[in-house]
Amino acid sequence: MPLVAEKAASSETGTTHGGVNQDSHVLFEGQLEPFGTVVLAAVFDGHSPGGEFAAQAAAHELVDSFMQACSGQGKLLSQWKLLLSEPDKFIKSLFQHLHSTILDTYAAWPSEYTYVSGSQEHRFVRQDDEQWGQLLHRHDGHVAPLDYGCTASIAVFVKVKHTIQMVAGNCGDSPIAIARCNQPDAEDGLVLNYISRRHTLRLEAERSRVKAHNLNRAIVTEDFYLAVNDPMLKSHQVQVSRSLGHKQLEPYGITWEPDTLVRTLDPEQVFAIVVLSDGVTDSLRRAAILDVLASTTTADEAASQLVKDSHAESVAVVSKSDDCTAVVVCL
């Protein structure tokens, strides 16, 4: 019997970045000793100029490290072996490795790059710099250090006796949710539970952590952006409080450290797990997501419909849409 019944992913480029999709995703299966079949489901949502490079690098490295471990090789082999025995250590070491992988891409950033944000087009030329590593010269004369990253949500599934164990981690605002069935307190027996936190500066706990980290070096603005006092970094304002990458903002509290989530999944009580980019959850309410999961007949249909509905809803409401990605795993 397969570990999961079905799995599928779908992604659609939004209208905000000139045809560039800054999301990447992973949906992969392999044989990892001593666990047997292991399924990976992940979403990486890039942000800032070059954010797509961060998301692509993280997705590629996640699959590569897993494939090497399946072959009994690789520098993360010992960490993958901790999947069930020490899940928190496993997740933290994996996220730290992906963070370091993104930092290694800074030196390979294109020498020339065009970034579209809404109706504005910015052209950049990269210059290597002894102090900052890389500087970006914008077409209007503005100069700032290179800084970009991506959110990350990763779920790993493995069978343990008659249940499925899910070990997951997230940093940023790409949520992980569990769709449950046969729930006596729900009218139709169906419930969708978000199990991950949205790591943004709107969250009081994250805001307090970042403020305590910075003292007088940075502030959180009224609209919940981190604003660094250093004039060289004043243009690098982010709302996410946790993210992979962000070489320049890490000293100001933008951390790669994830939350670790461990759940035992009973197929009699859980019918799907979804990993989503915020392009989906910013457009669709929980009830709409659950309705798609319940009314579609395949994982592929569900993933495609979630992305399609998210894009359409966003365009209808605000005349634009973010990149939308949905990974669906059905038990």
Which of the residue ranges 15-24, 75-84, 198-207, 301-310 would you say has the lowest mean pLDDT? 15-24
> Mean of the pLDDT values across residues 49-62?
97
Phi/psi for 244 (5° steps) reads -75, 150
CA quadruple 222, 226, 229, 231: dihedral, nearest 10: -110
Residue-wise pLDDT for 173-216, tens only, equals 999 999 999 998 888 899 999 999 999 999 999 999 999 988 78
Q: pLDDT over 70 for what percent of the chain?
A: 100
DSSP codes joined into one string, 270-310: EEEEEEE-HHHHTTS-HHHHHHHHHH-SSHHHHHHHHHHHH
Rounded to two decimals, the pTM is 0.96
CA-to-CA distance for 319 and 282, rounded, in angstroms? 14
Residue-wise pLDDT for 148-166, tens only, equals 999 999 999 999 888 899 9
pLDDT at 263: 97
pLDDT at 278 over 90: yes
pLDDT at 184: 87
Phi/psi for 59 (5° steps) reads -65, -45
CA-to-CA distance for 239 and 33, rounded, in angstroms? 40
> Mean of the pLDDT values across residues 318-325?
89
pLDDT at 187: 83
The residue assigned the tokens 């982010």 is 238
pLDDT at 1: 66
Helix (H, G, I), strand (E, B) or coil at 326: strand
DSSP codes joined into one string, 2-52: -SSSEEEEEEE--SSSTT---EEEEEEEEEETTTEEEEEEEEEEEESTTHH
pLDDT at 318: 84
> Mean of the pLDDT values across residues 140-148?
95
- Give the contacts of 156 (CB within 8 A, at least 6 positions apart): 38, 39, 40, 83, 166, 167, 168
CA-to-CA distance for 88 and 260, rounded, in angstroms? 6
